[in-house]
Structure 1
Amino acid sequence: MTDPTARPADPIRPTDAEARTLARDLIAHARFAALAVLDPDSGAPMVTRIALVPGPDGVPLTLISTLSAHTSALAADPRCSLLIGEPGEKGDPLTHPRLTLQARAEPADKTALKAHYLSLYPKATLYYDFGDFGLYRFAPLAAHLNGGFGKAYRLTPADLAQ
């Protein structure tokens, strides 16, 4: 007989070295991500695609215009979320690894990080120096890794640190 008060087993696996490495690799190799912010007027979630590179410390960086809606949303509330990782060319998209990074967007030193950013995302040379573009880093608060079917993990900022 089944106990009706029994809780189902936690589907989240204990975080291990393999999960940490996979999460760091997803960040290191990402050149774009989906950014979710909260619209300051309505409070509703808003998602957009952004360019992304890992900073020298492994924390993701992006260059965004002050003219974009997500920049004003981050100014109002710097809490955000990134979805990093794309499906491969073949197979079920849900079997490919992806990382949801809950973060706090912080201004970064655009001048000091210019050579680093452009070495990883050279197409940004066209607009990097435009006055309306700012560089932001996404300081991790927590992360959720789906390493493929049945491989879910919760990660801390320490798990993501290089």
Structure 2
Amino acid sequence: MTTRPENILRPTDSEARSLARRLLSHARFAALGVLVDGAPHVTRIGFGMTPDFTPLTLISDLALHTQALRTAPTCSLLIAEPPDKGDPLAFPRLTLSAVAEFAEKTDDLLAAWRSDHPKSALYLAFSDFHFVRFRPLSGALNGGFGKAFHLTADDLTQPVAPE
């Protein structure tokens, strides 16, 4: 029987923080995990960042996950953009633990969302669609094989400098 190392996580460094922030900045979709009647429920959502670098989505009252977030706002997001080729598990991904907070449709959120999700313009006018901000609690970054990191909320809340 093989024994597992005591701590498989690497010390969090600036490279890990930068990679997590890049994943957050560039992702346009995410998998959202919520609890529905005590059972896990995962769905794909549109994803973006607010001007103040807070994770954001636009969801409908008709969606099961919307009602779940209103009942129990603690949730999880898987943020990753798998490549066109290669093994998706060999590429970076971030699991974010967060608290969902429903937000008003302000001009800055509308503009930010439209710029990253132009095909969603129709939904923005519907009264049953709402913005949800995700306040990060922590993150689990898999930066590729053998590159696992734990991230704090502070590690995840600063924008990436333009490349």
Same fold (TM > 0.5): yes
Residues 7 and 28 of structure 1: CA distance in aligned 2, closer, same or farther (over 3 Å): closer
Q: TM-score, normalised by structure 1?
A: 0.92
- The secondary structure found in structure 2 opposite 1:110 is coil
Say which of 23, 26, 29 aligns to 1:29: 26
CA distance in 1 between counterparts of 2:25 and 2:84 reads 20
Instruction: Point out where structure 1 has 5 or more consecutive residues left out of the alignment.
Output: 1-5
Identity %: 60
- The secondary structure found in structure 1 opposite 2:97 is strand
Query: Which residue in the other structure is 2:131 paired with?
Result: 135
CA distance in 2 between counterparts of 1:122 and 1:33 reads 17
CA distance in 1 between counterparts of 2:4 and 2:34 reads 33
What letter matches 1:107 in structure 2? Answer: F
- The secondary structure found in structure 2 opposite 1:62 is strand
The alignment yields a C-alpha RMSD, in angstroms, of: 1.3
CA distance in 1 between counterparts of 2:131 and 2:52 reads 15
Deviations 1:66-114 (A, max 9, x none): 1110000000000000000032122222110000000000012213311
Query: Which residue in the other structure is 2:56 paired with?
Result: 61
What letter matches 2:9 in structure 1? Answer: I
CA distance in 1 between counterparts of 2:25 and 2:4 reads 37
Cα offset for 1:7? 7.5
Structure with larger Rg: 1
Query: Which residue in the other structure is 2:103 paired with?
Result: 108
CA distance in 2 between counterparts of 1:103 and 1:85 reads 16
Number of residues paired by the alignment? Answer: 155
